[in-house]
Structure 1
Amino acid sequence: MANASPPVTVEAAPVQAGPPPKSKVRSAIGWSYVLTAGRVGSSIVVTFVLAMLLGPDEFGILAMALVLVMIAQTILQQGLVSAIVQRDKLTGAHLDAAFGVLAIAGFGVAALVAALSPLWALMYREPRLTLVCVALAPLVLMQGLATVPEAVLRRELQFRAVAIRTLLAAVVSGVIGIALAVAGAGIWALVAQQLVNALIGLIVLWIVCPWRPSRRIRLGAIRELWTFSLHSANAGLGVMLSNRADLIFTGLFFGPIATGIYRLAARLPDMLVDVTVRSLQQVALPSLSRHQNDRTAFVNHLVQLQHLGAIVGLPVLGVLAATAGPLVGFLGPQWAGTEVPLQVLCLFGAVNVFGVLLGPALQAIGQPGKLAAISWARGLLGVATFAALGTMFGGGNPAAQATAIAVAGVCLQVVVNAVSIWVTVRRAAGASVLRFLLPTLPAVVAATAAALVPYGLNRLGADELPPLVGVVVLGAAGGLTAAAILWTTDRRVRDLVRKRLPRRFRRPSHPPRPA
């Protein structure tokens, strides 16, 4: 894959971040989809197998432990990555300094996670968390060692290399996790899966990345990244709090079983959002950053990305909602009741489709402070809401507790996305909110129709089918319904499909002129 600019090396002159060729952006988007589709595809298979072998209790324990690890990783990763990707001029000195700081901090923060593990277990009233958190602490160090080379590859839009790393790590770790679960390892199968995934990813990342740190580190270069990094890290912590407050309070008030049910119900739609919209998010920051000085081009590119995210993200969430009942039945009786929070969280994912690209847009336009304010407001509001729910539903059924958290999450996300769209599109970019949303309307209709398919087919006896057959029948019906609506109502979808058809299958736009 051709590069728009030379790879950053230690001796490199400042790298100018001009607009990349359209072919490189398209290639980056394609490889970003390959990256996320492969990872999510393997993750879905692994998650289903592990869910059948294990139960909500093990999944809940892992989710509680990962919250502590994610807090530590966010502190390390978020600020400097965004600064490296977004900065107009970047030299080897910036990368050397960032890597040195992150490597040293990685050791320290990983040790801090291990030291805080007993307190984390005490807070959750779950003694098993201590050893699990200690075992997962190396994830923080590995994140620190991987941050700079991954940021270099993302800045250069080299998602092919990132795809190789991620896919290999997901497959190898999934095989090991399943093997250990079959052997009766329980929660440690999930822990081993996380560790192996990070380790394989780190090794492959350093193999495919051409950049290497030098032995001389100029800490003065950090000061040039620091202002943006502080704002971005602040935003990252706010995003983490807003995204994980539901899991934190589900564990605190309801225990590991409700947390495991909620975790699985949230993970399935979240993986679909990953493969559809967050694939674009990975490309959005570097590609939008190239247009930060041209607001018209910036808005046009953001609208195109949002439309693409909607047409690939919303219909599949509608199909998942349609298949929720037989899908949970296929996983086994230990997951009974998970179908309701799963359907509610499909709606959460659909709302989230309209918010995933707003954070990178604010960062690309040089306004991470606004992102931080929105994220912290959402996080604090979520803390208050979920704490109130925890008090109200403390003695209920685990599935009902997970459903209550899911409903509250949807309401919060609607409010926060409305504010975020107005701040990003109207205030920061100076564009019309209607222009941003209107192209996504056909995808909204298609997703709604797909989700309603079971109400018709169940009257014909689809709910009496074996679970796996029900998943296939409802999924196919929902998918065909959504595809038909998109094809008939969205001209951009028809154009995208026709451009990718072999030339002999394309229908000419105008009849040929007579000779």
Structure 2
Amino acid sequence: MTAEDVGEQSGAGGLLAILKRGAALSAAGVASVQVIALVQTLVLAHLLSPSEVGVFTAGTVLTGFVVVFSHSSLSHALIQRRDQVADAAETVFWATLVSGAVLAGLLLATAPVLSHVFGNSQVGQVAAISSGTVLLTSLLAVPDALMQRDFQFKRRVIVDPLNAATFAIVAIGSAAAGFGVWALVTGYYVSVAVSVIAAWWLSGWRPGRGRFRVGLWRDLAIFAFPLLLESVVERAIEAGEVVLVGHRLHTSALGNYRNGRRLAFLPVMAIIQICSYVLFPAFARIAGERERFRRGFLTALGWMWLAVIPASALLAVLGEPAVTLLLGAQWRGAGQLVEAMCGVGVGYALMSVCAEALKGAGRPQLINWMTGVGAVSAIPLILLLLPHGLTGVGVALSISALATGLAGLILAGRVVGVSRGELLRCLVPALLAGVIAAVATGLLEHRAVHAGARGVAPGLALIVLETLGFLGVFVLVLQAISPSTLRPLWSAARRG
């Protein structure tokens, strides 16, 4: 299906059908990725030490940072493009390929610096060898963007699960064979290479169908620059977190940080990825219809919020015992980080919907205000709370994410035309229900159950029961204070 096909269908409810299908396919793909990631994290936690995981995290700290220069921002510009798509794709391809090669070389040259920063020579070795993944990743920019632009969900259903499975199989196999930190490096390389092959095969795009045009690159770059700035600041903050934790604490704490961060993001990012993948192209198509855009924004925000609030509340009260039981006592710090990061998912949910709405409305420059809030809050808060260990880091990240999400809500509300009263009616009921259910479950866990202090099997069984109890309280409270919030859910369940 091409973008033109979508345009023809979007008038008479066709777009809604496409979005429902896309959300369902995205859900299947993202769910498989999250399951694989969870299993991989659990298995590797028993094969690798926190220090080994920490060395890999430190060695690849700049890899994700430089990838944004050669991939994500121009991809968004290509998705939003309405004309000269073939030339735009060719332009993006060569721009990202050249920048990827240059940045890979710079990363290789600066690898020794990381050894000095973290006081570990192996960190620099990991950084040097991993630098080539930047060039590989740049090859994904055009195929990924064209598939998302045309509402082709092969990326979510095939490429992403294949990437996750490849990393898990290679990394676990290599770790079991005793390769240590190099098991993660090998898995990283192979998974990126497999993703590139799959994306090119599935998208059907090949270079040479258009031509590189400097003027077109300039137009794409103007649209992409605010998004580039957002990504750079976000990655810089993540890099700062890694440097501070690894330098001020220890590489073992950095290993706990990496696994804790991954586990904290698993449930909420699954929800966000399912929705955001279809929201940007959908919002871009209805932005000219103000009332339709307003209703679509509120609907997307309400559904995202209804899913993220209970997931985040559960992390706040059951994160530490669950992680300790699953990974082992040496990973208790990761569990403490998971609980303290409970606010990050809430903030990211707001950021996601608001950012997609602003991009769809052609106002990506406003995202820089959100970026600014995150930039001025995250690192100072981490510095302030770092003496409290990983718990302090998690609290700092939660506060920063919530502040950034609220800033996005204010900006997007003005652009879309949503009043504060509408936003409060959309958000407050689920938030109140989540807080009440979390308090009840937390009191039960800490005063009576103590699941984390029991054996693995009985402890996990108790956590499952506590989760079911939490969900029961959440639904009952929400039904009591705002029956209309759950009505679409019950209707969808009956239709299903």
| TM-score, normalised by the number of residues in structure 1 | 0.87
CA positional deviation for 1:133: 0.8
Q: 1:338 to 1:173 in 2, by over 3 A?
A: closer
Q: Which residue of 2 aligns with 1:10?
A: none
8 Å CA contact retained: 2:71, 2:141: yes
Question: Which of 111, 122, 141 is the matching residue for 2:135?
Answer: 141
| 1:222 aligned onto 2:210 | no
CA root-mean-square deviation: 2.5
Work out whether 1:33 is the aligned partner of 2:27: yes
C-alpha displacement at 1:216, in angstroms?
A: 5.7
* Partner in structure 1 of residue 392 of structure 2: 404
Whichever residue aligns with residue 474 of structure 1, its letter is I
Q: Are the aligned partners of 2:333 and 2:390 in contact in 1 as well (CA < 8 Å)?
A: no
Matches within 5 A, 1:137-216: 137-214=131-208
How far 1:420 moved relative to its partner?
A: 2.1
Aligned-partner Cα distance in 2 for 1:298–1:183: 54
The answer to whether 1:421 aligns with 2:444 is no
Q: CA deviation at 1:274?
A: 1.4
Q: Are 2:474 and 1:485 equivalent residues in the alignment?
A: yes
Q: Deviations over 1:200-238 (max 9, x none)?
A: 111111111122221663323313312112222122212
- Secondary structure at the aligned position of 1:213 is classed as coil
Question: How many pairs does the alignment contain?
Answer: 486
Secondary structure of the residue aligned to 1:353 is: helix
Change in CA separation of 1:53 and 1:485 when aligned onto 2, cut-off 3 Å: same
1:77 is aligned with what amino acid?
A: H
Tell me how far 1:98 sits from its aligned partner. Answer: 0.9
CA contact (8 A) 1:281 1:357 kept: yes
Note the alpha carbon deviations across 1:219-258, whole angstroms, 9 max, x for none: 2331331211222212221232345432332223223122
Partner Cα distance (2:40, 2:126) in 1 = 20
Cα distance change of structure 1 residues 237 and 434 upon mapping to structure 2, 3 Å threshold: farther
CA offsets 1:367-398 (integer angstroms, 9 cap, x no match): 222212331342243233334555xx3xxxxx
Q: Would the aligned equivalents of 1:446 and 1:483 in 2 still touch at CA under 8 Å?
A: no
Counterpart in 1 of 2:297? 302
Aligned pairs (5 A) from 1:243-262 = 243-262=238-257
Residue pairs, 1:430-509, within 5 angstroms: 430-452=417-439, 453-463=441-451, 465-483=454-472, 485-486=474-475, 488=479, 489-501=482-494
Query: In the alignment, is the contact (CA less than 8 A) between 1:449 and 1:478 conserved in 2?
Result: no
Which of these residues, 87, 97, 109, is aligned with residue 115 of structure 1? Answer: 109
8 Å CA contact 2:343–2:401 kept in 1: the answer is no
User: What's 2:311 paired with?
Assistant: 316
Q: Which letter maps to 1:254?
A: L
Shift of 1:352: 2.7
| Counterpart Cα distance in 2 of 1:445 and 1:381 | 26
AA partner of residue 81 (structure 1): S
CA distance in 2, matches of 1:190, 1:482: 36
What is the CA–CA distance in structure 1 between the aligned matches of 2:338 and 2:128, rounded to whole Å?
A: 31
1:460 to 1:226, Cα distance in 2 relative to 1, 3 A: closer
- Larger relative contact order (C-alpha < 8 A, sep ≥ 6)? 1
**CA distance, structure 2, for counterparts of residue 348 and residue 186 of structure 1:** 31
Q: Is the 8 A contact 2:75 2:92 kept in 1?
A: no
Asked whether 1:375 is paired with 2:371, we answer yes
* Correspondence list, 1:232-243, <5 A: 232-243=227-238
Structure 1 stretches lacking a partner, 5+ long: 8-14, 394-399, 504-515
Maintained 8 Å contact 1:117/1:133: yes
Counterparts of 2:346 and 2:122, CA distance in 1: 35
Alignment of 1:338-353 (within 5 A): 338-353=334-349
Deviation at 1:197, TM superposition (A): 1.7
Q: Using the TM superposition, name which of 196-205 and 292-301 deviates more.
A: 292-301
Q: Match of 2:92?
A: 98
Q: Match of 1:430, as an amino acid? A: G
Amino acid at match of 2:229: N
Contact 1:34/1:163 (8 A) holds in 2: yes
Q: Which one-letter code corresponds to 1:501 in the other structure?
A: R
Which one-letter code corresponds to 2:232 in the other structure?
L
Contact preservation (8 Å) 1:446, 1:481? no
**Displacement, 1:56?**
1.8
What is the distance in 2 between the residues matched to 1:90 and 1:253?
50
Structure 2: 5+ residue runs without aligned partners? none
Moved more, 149-158 or 471-480: 471-480
Once the two structures are TM-superposed, the CA of residue 164 in structure 1 deviates from its matched residue by 0.7
Deviations 1:447-471 (A, max 9, x none): 3344331422554445353233222
Contact 2:340/2:392 (CA < 8 Å) preserved in 1? no
Letter in 2 for 1:219: R
Corresponding residue of 2:118: 124
Cα distance per residue 1:345-382 (max 9 Å; x no partner): 12332333222222222222122222123313422432
Q: Which amino acid aligns with 1:260?
A: G
